[in-house]
Chains A and B, each alone.
Chain A
């Protein structure tokens, strides 16, 4: 294959857009997905899953399955009860949080449709699936608990030992007295918003392969995971197996969106079965299993109330959440809504804030992190209610925002919710977005269409969002009772020939770490982009790390790398001074070359120095002979990207069909390492946020059966359904070494409220104040119908 690279030769440093190192092997199908791996003698697992949402398990008859061709073993929950009594939840958000046992295979009861009840292990996958179909489970059905509010009445309790369906109640009152603030306000607007559950739908489903090494007692686990490091530690913790005997490898991973930030029962069972049978064991889920059992995102009822003066000055905010945990608490399930707690005040100044959240068990698939995790929900609610307040005050919704946001001179700014935003310029991003969008022109067209009673109505939606990402300062995570820290590790190693190996603890699954981290290294060391190799995703290659989620890879991992590269430069400077017989203070470093001040001919390139230190014939006495730098970076603060997204929708009022006419996104993600990758993250993020607004939604029936079990019923939009996005950036550097902010989740956080605000804006003349997500044509049509019937006041 010939690769034609027509980009300028100097690409590869910070701020350029070299071809992504990942792409050649991705687009030519040279990838290694976990499912591609098949060591000789691999056994395959198929799970028997609960066919009802809530039931006591009577007998499980595995006899027919056990006797079927190629079947090696059939196991039930009881078989693993001692080795792994429960899967982990690493985020007890309150001291009295109810944390029920979550066995990897159900014991005694099933609590959601899809809960595993048995596993069949066979020599090939088809035999395993065939045999699983014959396992007979005798269920004693119990009533399903589908509705969160009904769950709280505790008439039917999922975890009987706990005696309640309430997992926790978390309260965070901050700032001035909330009741006094509300009592003294001119205007109070209250809304209830529903955050429907979403399926994360990565293209690659989950897969795991566990290979035991009989002689050493080691286990190598390949998993389609975002978190090889956390997974290794957790597998050791939950099974009691020694951590140093477990190696986890995340090979090519095809998307995660938070859904692979998990320690799943299937991974634990793969390990335990491999241990028991002494053979490699593999499981790849089917798409139906993905829909049914991969953790869901969102799932909240949000009661939000905002208080303001009659001039539109915000005074206070009250938020009461019901957060759907699903049947069990998984890795960070309870923490997701709590991350949101800090984001409701968004970019607005106010004195009083109270956040309450009740976590609730229901007989549904567990929820957990999904792109944005808590912050999209918060941003949606605040940006929606800002529009509602503007409507109540008869103000332009952008004017209301301008009146209340933090101005750029006020940074760093301590928010009522307790965070200190380090940087931002909301005015600049907004001004640029308004210009690209032609806000005034569209408002004029909207007025005209309204006056004409046009069949097509225009709506304009605003989202002036920010978010907290770059998880996270370890101390803050500790204060929030999260089970681990938020540092990241990086190593930079000069090889003898001058090439560079970078080891990162952050674990990519589509983002392009190899490219971005090579660029940072290239700029820091002054070595060509192509001379750098980034290693990741294998606990043996990269023993320390905290993986990829929460838009942390660059703002934590990238800065760790910058520091590690700095250590290499420091050592190399020392060596250069020694070899050039100059004082270290007289050594200058530029473009990969150390030279002596005033005598430019006396120089050594860092790549030459790599060979010199390898030979080790001549180096300073107080130096060890290597050019390796290792750094752990623990940030002091979160990262706060922000931006202004503006959306214009056209609604066909006859059919209720919404189409996005214009979408403008001006994001401020600080300094940009690779503009193309940033653009990609913004595009994908916006698409996923639009998906929540208009298309996607998990549906359960009253008995707790998943109705959206296939992608025919769960509609994921594709390119033809989305408009061309107009994107641009402002660049307000963050207060960190690279000036960078996270970008992985920003688009998703921003776009959902922009779209729904636009839909509601289009329908205001019909007396409509909200449309539940996803804003399907039918819902929009019904909103218009009931608005018309109810009279447009």
Chain B
């Protein structure tokens, strides 16, 4: 619970962050809200020699309307996102799910960049950004690049970010008119999801035109319940039709086993919660 010794810098621009990362390579770690990194350092699971605090980089904060999408600075806190009018208007799923992250303290420190760059599929936001088909913008010595959510999450605590890259922005396409719901199942309110389901539904002529389902904690990376999404396309808005489609929500998943759940129970929860989330999103 006492971290190993480390050096600390707090640059004020993205360029400085990138040059510091370039200088220190693998020995450096970006510090955002610290709510995932600091526990790891205290347990000495992470022992960075240099901690680069991005908390003072103003350009990494805030939500911007960029036409067909919202551009959310990586350093924007969960609390800011929950209360942001643009997010609530165009990407309600993100606001709802973010409001369920941890507790108020966590939401005031934790950032969307940290919660996704950490690459923990038990976190709520990776599955949500996957369902929203967001894009991550990273900046490194060679400039900026965009990474689709589907390519960003690569394994347990592993993302497409290189050691010398900083995540600067998360772009979320506007989902005006889509119904949405995030069903989070946990044992105590402030714990991580045993399973979470993010659902988005676009309706047309009284039936489901398109549905997207992102699953939290159902594998090493956030998973899309594609079989259910396909079964839902064009389906009736009835409870039976939704349930039938969501019977396939866990197809092809290999969820983890831990103290809260064995894999078969997680798969069962994914099916039940998908049906609930889709039903709610269908409205």
Other A-B pairs beyond A655-B269, A715-B188, 4, CB < 8 Å: A712-B191, A718-B189, A776-B187, A778-B261
20 contacts between A and B (CB under 8 A): A126-B5, A288-B1, A655-B185, A655-B269, A695-B187, A695-B188, A707-B259, A710-B43, A712-B191, A713-B258, A715-B191, A717-B188, A718-B189, A720-B188, A721-B188, A776-B187, A777-B185, A777-B194, A778-B260, A781-B265
- Looking at chain B's contact residues, the main secondary structure is loop
* Chain B residues within 8 Å of A716, by CB: 188
Tell me, in angstroms, the Cα distance from A488 to B133 when the chains sit together.
68
Within the complex, the shortest CB–CB distance from A121 to chain B, in Å, comes to 15
Within the complex, the shortest CB–CB distance from A512 to chain B, in Å, comes to 27
Within the complex, the shortest CB–CB distance from B281 to chain A, in Å, comes to 18
Q: Does B190 contact A (CB under 8 A)?
A: yes
* Chain B residues within 8 Å of A720, by CB: 188-190
Most chain A Cβ neighbours within 10 Å, of B188, B194, B258, B260:
B188
Tell me, in angstroms, the Cα distance from A130 to B185 when the chains sit together.
39
Tell me, in angstroms, the Cα distance from A699 to B259 when the chains sit together.
8
Contact assessment for B4 and A130 in the assembled complex, using a CB-CB cutoff below 8 Å:
yes
Tell me, in angstroms, the Cα distance from A776 to B260 when the chains sit together.
8
Q: Does B272 contact A (CB under 8 A)?
A: yes
Tell me, in angstroms, the Cα distance from A695 to B190 when the chains sit together.
13
Q: Does A21 contact B (CB under 8 A)?
A: no
Which 9 pairs across A and B sit closest by C-beta, in order of nearness?
A286-B1, A720-B189, A129-B2, A721-B188, A778-B265, A654-B272, A715-B188, A717-B188, A778-B261
Tell me, in angstroms, the Cα distance from A133 to B268 when the chains sit together.
43
Residue in A126, A133, A286, A715 whose beta carbon sits within 8 Å of that of B187 in the complex: A715
Q: Count residues of chain B with CB under 8 A from any CB of chain A.
A: 24
Q: Does B89 contact A (CB under 8 A)?
A: no
Tell me, in angstroms, the Cα distance from A637 to B260 when the chains sit together.
44
Q: Does A475 contact B (CB under 8 A)?
A: no
Chain A interface (Cβ < 8 Å from any Cβ of B): 125-126, 129-130, 133, 286-289, 654-655, 657, 695, 699, 707-708, 710, 712-713, 715-718, 720-721, 776-778, 781-782
Contact assessment for B1 and A781 in the assembled complex, using a CB-CB cutoff below 8 Å:
no
Tell me, in angstroms, the Cα distance from A654 to B269 when the chains sit together.
8
Contact assessment for B188 and A718 in the assembled complex, using a CB-CB cutoff below 8 Å:
yes
Within the complex, the shortest CB–CB distance from B279 to chain A, in Å, comes to 13
Q: Does B192 contact A (CB under 8 A)?
A: yes
Q: Does B262 contact A (CB under 8 A)?
A: yes
User: Which B residue's beta carbon lies closest to that of A716?
Assistant: B188
Contact assessment for A657 and B185 in the assembled complex, using a CB-CB cutoff below 8 Å:
yes
Task: Knowing A713-B259, A778-B261, A781-B265, say if A287 contacts B190 (CB, 8 Å).
Answer: no
Contact assessment for A130 and B261 in the assembled complex, using a CB-CB cutoff below 8 Å:
no
* Chain B residues within 8 Å of A777, by CB: 185, 187, 194
Within the complex, the shortest CB–CB distance from B49 to chain A, in Å, comes to 14
Q: Which residues, 50 to 95 on B, are CB-close (under 8 Å) to A?
A: none
Most chain B Cβ neighbours within 10 Å, of A129, A287, A708:
A129
Within the complex, the shortest CB–CB distance from B23 to chain A, in Å, comes to 25
Tell me, in angstroms, the Cα distance from A206 to B187 when the chains sit together.
28
Task: Knowing A654-B272, A655-B272, A715-B188, say if A708 contacts B259 (CB, 8 Å).
Answer: yes
Contact assessment for B187 and A718 in the assembled complex, using a CB-CB cutoff below 8 Å:
no
Within the complex, the shortest CB–CB distance from B122 to chain A, in Å, comes to 10
Within the complex, the shortest CB–CB distance from B28 to chain A, in Å, comes to 21
User: Which B residue's beta carbon lies closest to that of A285?
Assistant: B1
Q: Which residues, 256 to 277 on B, are CB-close (under 8 Å) to A?
A: 258-262, 265, 268-269, 272-273
Contact assessment for A721 and B43 in the assembled complex, using a CB-CB cutoff below 8 Å:
no
Most chain B Cβ neighbours within 10 Å, of A710, A713, A778, A782:
A778
Tell me, in angstroms, the Cα distance from A717 to B103 when the chains sit together.
13
* Chain B residues within 8 Å of A125, by CB: 2
Tell me, in angstroms, the Cα distance from A286 to B1 when the chains sit together.
6
Within the complex, the shortest CB–CB distance from B214 to chain A, in Å, comes to 19
* Chain B residues within 8 Å of A712, by CB: 191-192
Within the complex, the shortest CB–CB distance from A282 to chain B, in Å, comes to 14
* Chain B residues within 8 Å of A655, by CB: 185, 269, 272-273
Contact assessment for A781 and B2 in the assembled complex, using a CB-CB cutoff below 8 Å:
no
Tell me, in angstroms, the Cα distance from A654 to B185 when the chains sit together.
12
* Chain B residues within 8 Å of A286, by CB: 1-2
Within the complex, the shortest CB–CB distance from B149 to chain A, in Å, comes to 26
Tell me, in angstroms, the Cα distance from A333 to B119 when the chains sit together.
44
Chain B 165-200: CB-based contact to A (< 8 A → 1; otherwise 0): 000000000000000000001011111101000000
User: Which B residue's beta carbon lies closest to that of A774?
Assistant: B187
Tell me, in angstroms, the Cα distance from A782 to B258 when the chains sit together.
16
Tell me, in angstroms, the Cα distance from A654 to B272 when the chains sit together.
7
Within the complex, the shortest CB–CB distance from A119 to chain B, in Å, comes to 15
Tell me, in angstroms, the Cα distance from A655 to B266 when the chains sit together.
10
* Chain A residues within 8 Å of B4, by CB: 130
Most chain A Cβ neighbours within 10 Å, of B261, B265, B273:
B265
Within the complex, the shortest CB–CB distance from A481 to chain B, in Å, comes to 39
Contact assessment for B2 and A126 in the assembled complex, using a CB-CB cutoff below 8 Å:
yes
Within the complex, the shortest CB–CB distance from A462 to chain B, in Å, comes to 25
Task: Knowing A713-B259, A778-B261, say if A287 contacts B1 (CB, 8 Å).
Answer: yes
* Chain B residues within 8 Å of A781, by CB: 265, 268
User: Which A residue's beta carbon lies closest to that of B266?
Assistant: A778
Tell me, in angstroms, the Cα distance from A133 to B2 when the chains sit together.
11
Contact assessment for A288 and B43 in the assembled complex, using a CB-CB cutoff below 8 Å:
yes
User: Which B residue's beta carbon lies closest to that of A127?
Assistant: B5
Within the complex, the shortest CB–CB distance from B202 to chain A, in Å, comes to 27
* Chain A residues within 8 Å of B190, by CB: 718, 720
Contact assessment for B43 and A782 in the assembled complex, using a CB-CB cutoff below 8 Å:
no
User: Which B residue's beta carbon lies closest to that of A777?
Assistant: B187
* Chain A residues within 8 Å of B261, by CB: 778
Q: Which residues, 76 to 134 on B, are CB-close (under 8 Å) to A?
A: none
Tell me, in angstroms, the Cα distance from A126 to B5 when the chains sit together.
8
* Chain B residues within 8 Å of A133, by CB: 44
* Chain B residues within 8 Å of A718, by CB: 188-190
Tell me, in angstroms, the Cα distance from A707 to B258 when the chains sit together.
10
User: Which B residue's beta carbon lies closest to that of A652?
Assistant: B272
* Chain A residues within 8 Å of B1, by CB: 286-289
* Chain A residues within 8 Å of B265, by CB: 778, 781-782
* Chain A residues within 8 Å of B191, by CB: 712, 715
